Chains A and B, each alone.
Chain A
Amino acid sequence: MALPKHADRLERVWHYTYLVICALIFLFLIAPILVVMPLSFNSEPYFTFTEKMLKFDPTGYSARWYDLLLTFGMQAPDVPRDSSWWSDTWNNAHWIQATKNSIIVGFFSTILATGLGTVAALGLSRPEMPGRRAIMAILISPMIVPIIITATGLFFFYSSVGIQNWGIPYLGVVLAHATLGIPFVIITVTATLVGFDHSLTRAAASLGANPARTFFKVQMPLILPGVISGGLFAFVTSFDEVVVVLFVGGLDEQTIPRQMWNGIREQISPAILSVATILVVISILLLATVELLRRRSERLRGISPG
């Protein structure tokens, strides 16, 4: 986006103004994410930068809120930290429970969404698929329908079939999250399949491979980045989802967002900000993973990243 040599003064002024505007917009995008990070180290239970923090006085900073994440909900938080303290934390601390639940629900719903979604995307990407438009619309609809409608519908449905009595823990939430994650998997995998060279399957068939072998040995490795991308989207959707969990989740199915929701309404202590910081760091890691995968797939296809 270089300034062309023939630009006159007005254009130059506009060009630099434009860059400043873009910088401000990027600041708007990133500032809220970044501002919570130093605040989570606030030694006072306030949401603003105290005098001490602005002067970078070490006593203004502390990791007490991260500690609170470990101790909140424990039976006996003040005893010395030996193995029984750790087992107390592991079993009773609300945030630890919430993390465990989030990971379990996220894992199973991602597996379900990715499995079903990938297979369906394979079918949908075939040109001979009947009723493609209509079916695609139905499959994408969970992303479009307002979440409150989905949550209320699922609450009534699960209550009427008595899903809580089937004995499978988290079933309702896992199914709901899988439903919400499927559109993302479909979109990313179909996008990957668009660029897939079908002559490779024909070549494999001509060499004697049956369809299943072709799929696993030829198609899967090439669409894997798309599948993983879709899976990551589905995982993040489940990990971040709060409305459906509020309605459908049982009382022992507190996930991290639900615990945050409770915390925001109950005690807006900076403990929420510690959780936020940890989640932002995790998002950065996930983002890096996606980027690395993308570069790998481009390398595989022989395109260099410009």
Chain B
Amino acid sequence: MSETSASDEILTTADGRPLKEALARAQFFAKRRAFFLVLPLLAFILLTFVMPIGQMLHRSVKNEGFTVHTDVTTGARTPIMTELSAWFDQNPSGTVPDEAAYTALVNDIGALDGLRSAGSAGTRINYLRAGSRSLFTKAARKWEKLEAPYQEAFYDLDDEWADPTLWAAMRQASNSYTFDFYLAAMDYTRDAEGSVTQVDENRQVYVKLFVRTLFLSLLITFMTFVLAYPIAHLLATLPLRHSNLLMILVLLPFWTSLLVRTTSWMVLLQSQGVVNDTMVGIGLLADESRLQMMYNQTGTVIAMTHILLPFMVLPLYSVMRPINPSYVRAARSLGATSWTAFRRIYFPQTVPGIGAGALLVFILAVGYYITPALVGGADGQLISNLIAFHMQKSLNWSLAAALASLLLGGILLLYWLYDRLVGIDNLKLG
């Protein structure tokens, strides 16, 4: 211990070091030990998760379709459209393309033909201006036959080469880094002068899908809340022996494979499925007017509510269990009706659980892919399905990355909210 005398003002430890210093040192070692315990996992997650996601998000702003050709076998990178870029650099935006521009264009297209990248260059422009890909592929097939004056030659080839939006698009694409994909992800595009405008009515799809995803996720969250609250209350108020048994009915779906549950719903909800057959069998429905519950939004909502229900029950249960029943009894004894007692005493105590469950369900619902893909049909598709489409079918990876980063941004915001309100360390899974 320490020795104090009237003249000594600093406390020291047994070996003479000032106590504060010794404490700080000990704490430093303890912190370092704790940190080193976490370090392997942190490094692992940073490497296998954070870095890949970061790399993918980088794709959302960088697209080299019109600037660099990468050979698929050797990986060699060759700059393309160099002469045209130079012309764009020398001439400000809005300049009408002259003969020099078209000469640069024909030389560059010749280079494209040699590298066989006319298609991918054209695809890059196609993202900005529909129908442009075919212009490039046609030009690449026929460039050798073109003669000066090239402006005329190109107009003869296809009069769309005169379109100022095409030139604006090419100017835009000459820069590897761009925000165009974010614009596209929000249904905006650039017009001939390069300013931002909305995409045609009949092409607007992404904002609609974001809104639909938001709406359906809110609906599903609400429905899981409505269904989970009664059974969580029942489970929390029954003696542990009984509630553990009933809990199996909640945990079994939770542990069952997602595909199995989705398949079960397909079996149940089909036109000739179990639910419809039962209702026709007992006479509720006529055979011709079977309910259409599959391959539409109804199917998505029902299946996802079922799948996400345990995620709402478990947090609610863990909050309701420790609630002392004597509060409600005290309220009743003071003259409250059972509804008032519930509304003013019981319900407010469960609000943290509702918040936790609702945020969890909402965040999961927004990112769902499998269930809408199998039972959603065309109008039950969520934004994840469109991201998957751009990843796997249309192969517009930059747009997929832009959509994904918008989705991720929204979710991280909610996650931050969740942390603020509930605290991540308070997440209990029953």
Contacts and interface: CB of A to CB of B under 8 A. Distances in A.
Nearest to A188: B429
A124 B425 CA distance: 10
A93 B400 CA distance: 36
A33 interface: yes
A184 B387 CA distance: 26
Contact of A287 (B49, B255, B424): B255
B53 interface: yes
Interface string B416-428: 0001000011011
B415 interface: yes
Contacts of A275: 260
Interface stretch (A75-83, A174-182, A217-225): A174-182
B356 interface: no
Interface string A238-251: 01101100010000
A16 interface: no
B257 A149 contact: no
A111 interface: no
A32 B261 contact: yes
Contacts of B238: 1
Contacts of A233: 429
Contact of A137 (B49, B244, B424): B424
Contact of A33 (B31, B46, B256): B256
A36 B260 contact: yes
Interface residues of A, number: 92
A148 B367 contact: yes
Contacts, number: 261
Interface in A128-148: 128-130, 133, 135-142, 144-148
A141 B52 CA distance: 13
A2 B261 CA distance: 34
B258 to A, nearest CB: 6
Name B's interface SS: helix
Given A29-B249, A136-B424, A149-B404, A276 B255 contact: no
Contacts of A116: 40-41, 44
A233 B430 CA distance: 12
Name, among A140, A144, A176, the residue most crowded by chain B CB atoms within 10 Å (CB to CB).
A144
A124 B38 contact: yes
A236 interface: yes
The 7 closest A-B pairs by CB, nearest first: A146-B367, A123-B37, A157-B52, A306-B240, A32-B264, A120-B41, A153-B56
Given A117-B41, A149-B387, A242-B258, 14 more contacts: A1-B234, A1-B237, A49-B274, A123-B37, A130-B35, A136-B425, A139-B41, A139-B45, A148-B404, A149-B53, A149-B404, A179-B45, A247-B391, A273-B267
Interface of B: 27, 30-31, 33-38, 40-42, 44-46, 48-53, 55-56, 59, 227, 230-231, 234, 237-241, 244, 246, 248-253, 255-268, 270, 272-274, 277, 306, 309-310, 332, 338, 363, 366-370, 374, 384, 387-388, 391, 397, 400-401, 404, 407-408, 411, 415, 419, 424-425, 427-429
